Amino acid sequence: MSLLLTLKSLYAMNGVIAVLLYLPQITRAWSDRNHALSLSLLTFGGWCIGSGITALYAWLAVKDQIFTAISLGNMAGSGTVFLIAACNRLASRKESSPC
């Protein structure tokens, strides 16, 4: 096995694990409104945008399906956390509104 193939395989495994590591964060944010309120929208939004740009680069410039899929998985994970936190903040503002 060549060094490049070994690195690509390790990258793919690492990417799958990284995407799966979003699941506990998503579950916790979904089930615990207070936890979701403490999440950084800037951080998760930035990761989502960065992963989207990386996916475009992987697809258009590198033309690597694995790289593209992993980047899209990261975008989906960070985007899901971002959306849950944003929705919980909006709901929290409506509940605390004096109207």
Residue 61 in any domain: the answer is yes
Per the structure, how many domains does the chain have? 1
Residue 14 in any domain: the answer is no
C-alpha Rg value of the chain to the nearest Å:
17
Does the pLDDT at position 92 exceed 90? no
Residue 48 in any domain: the answer is yes
Residue 67 in any domain: the answer is yes
Cβ within 8 Å of residue 30, ≥6 positions away = 36, 84
What is the token pair recorded at 80? 């899901």
pLDDT at 37: 82
Does the pLDDT at position 1 exceed 80? no
pLDDT at 45: 97
pLDDT in tens, 12-69: 899 899 989 999 989 988 888 777 788 999 999 999 999 999 999 999 999 999 999 9
Domain that holds residue 78: 33-99
